[in-house]
Copies of this chain bind each other. A is one copy, B any other.
């Protein structure tokens, strides 16, 4: 994935929310080195004792660290030196793996899933960086497009009603925030059978969607005005219509493809405009529980990623775009953080953010789960984020 990046591409930080590709590579390595090798191998010597300061992300228990918004200052170590760091830690980890205690092996599993998260962030952070270059360079050639018919109008699918079980059931890996599994009560509702398309979004724009306060949450309207928001991130209007910037450069917007790079505020405003609402994360999970989380348009290999038009009845619950839910990211009943630095993994972020579900075209295949809870602030939109509509049904 990093192959087409120059040392400079891998070093620059384009905004405080994003991190350099080199930093992602080093940070995921630091995670293994710190929580597995350092903590569980008595004789392990750090690859470089000065680097933990650079590559700790936010673990307060691990002490002081480099400021998040200055990660782009680290021109040294070079990309090649970071690659050597990865090789060193990989080798040490491979050698140690057979004899690691169970607790350490669980941390290895956590580290692998952690790294998958950063693979997606790396993709979206590089996309943002290239978008800030006035030349708008393409990282990869465009994927070959298979012509697709425009999707049918939305069909409403009635969801489960009454008490459902929510959260990870204990089979296989899950992050702490996905549990405990617990009962939840769903009121009568329906979900759309697909996500909102670019073509539908263009209608929202044409109808004055970004110019009328009445569709917006107050915070969202303030965000629109302050930042002069008028379209999804990376969209630009030309004489020939809307274009978008992607890892394959600037190209026309495909009206049949799912809209992406919209914030929660935009998603909520669109839903209000459309006379609908966003699903709750419980409704989404109940609907997704019966689907194959490894299907759909997810990331298999390096190369341009982009959401694809739905081509079947699967509803695209997994892959293509992360779907904003109307649920604030808060702990499940009975949630407890783990002991130690790893306990900072998710719990401390449970305020101010909204849950997204399903995974995107940039999510490593196999990383998604029905119980998976992604979360971002309501104004953030540099991830592949989209919208599925929901609505209340009358109680019988």
A14 to B8: give the CA distance in the assembly, Å: 14
Interface positions, chain A 4-32, Cβ under 8 Å from B, are 6-12, 14
Whether A72 and B351, one on each chain, are in contact in the complex, defined by CB atoms closer than 8 angstroms, is no
| Contact of A11 with B14 at beta-carbon distance under 8 Å, contacts A129-B75, A185-B184, A378-B351 already known | no
A132 to B69: give the CA distance in the assembly, Å: 12
**Which residue of chain B lies nearest to A48 when distances are taken between CB atoms in the complex?**
B135
Whether B392 and A333, one on each chain, are in contact in the complex, defined by CB atoms closer than 8 angstroms, is yes
**Which residue of chain B lies nearest to A392 when distances are taken between CB atoms in the complex?**
B334
A207-224 Cβ-contact flags toward B at 8 Å (1 or 0): 000000110111111000
Let me know if A101 is at the binding interface, CB within 8 A. Answer: no
Chain B residues with Cβ under 8 A from A133's Cβ? Answer: 73-76
Chain B residues with Cβ under 8 A from A351's Cβ? Answer: 217-220, 264-265, 268, 378
**Which residue of chain B lies nearest to A350 when distances are taken between CB atoms in the complex?**
B217
| Contact of A330 with B333 at beta-carbon distance under 8 Å, contacts A134-B66, A264-B351, A349-B217 already known | no
Whether B184 and A73, one on each chain, are in contact in the complex, defined by CB atoms closer than 8 angstroms, is no
**Which residue of chain B lies nearest to A277 when distances are taken between CB atoms in the complex?**
B331
Contact of A328 among B77, B330, B349 (CB under 8 A): B330
Let me know if A78 is at the binding interface, CB within 8 A. Answer: yes
Chain B residues with Cβ under 8 A from A6's Cβ? Answer: 7, 75-76, 78
Chain B residues with Cβ under 8 A from A134's Cβ? Answer: 50, 53-54, 66, 74
Let me know if A295 is at the binding interface, CB within 8 A. Answer: no
Best-surrounded residue of A10, A74, A216, A348 (most CB of chain B within 10 A): A348
Q: Can you report 9 residue pairs joining A to B where beta carbons are below 8 Å apart?
A: A7-B7, A8-B8, A8-B75, A60-B214, A76-B137, A184-B185, A219-B349, A220-B351, A264-B351
Which are the 3 A-B pairs with shortest beta-carbon distances? A328-B328, A60-B213, A8-B11
